[in-house]
Amino acid sequence: FGCWQLGKRVWHNLRSPLRALPGPKGTSWLYGNLKDIYNVENSVLHEQWVGQYGTTLKYKGFFFSDRLFTMDTRALNHVLTHSSDYQKPPQVRYNLARILGEG
């Protein structure tokens, strides 16, 4: 089962449209860039990445999964005005509801 899940993740990453975006290389096979993000104050690392890679980039999450980051105002406007097209994963919604409350 674990091999199947790993294979699915690798296949998804190989076919992801995010792979064409620039971005930093992951620094850990397990955590990607997440430890780097959590170890710096506020948005320092994101600002460095925007300076280096542009306003829309990818970084690595757990097990080298690609994560999208954008500061492009047109892209953000589109995402915020079409929120039903950009559903958050169930775990993210659960965690946000615990922090912010339902609704």
The DSSP bridge partners found for residue 72 are none
Q: What is the pLDDT of residues 58-91, one digit of tens each?
A: 999 988 889 999 999 999 999 999 988 988 888 8
Whole-prediction pTM value?
0.74
Domain edges within the chain: 2-71, 72-103
Tens-place pLDDT, residues 12-62: 777 788 989 999 999 998 999 999 999 998 889 999 999 999 999 999 998
Alpha helices in the chain (DSSP H): 2-15, 34-38, 44-53, 73-81, 90-100
> CB–CB of 76/55 below 8 Å?
no
Given pLDDT bands bounded at 50, 70 and 90, which one contains residue 11? confident
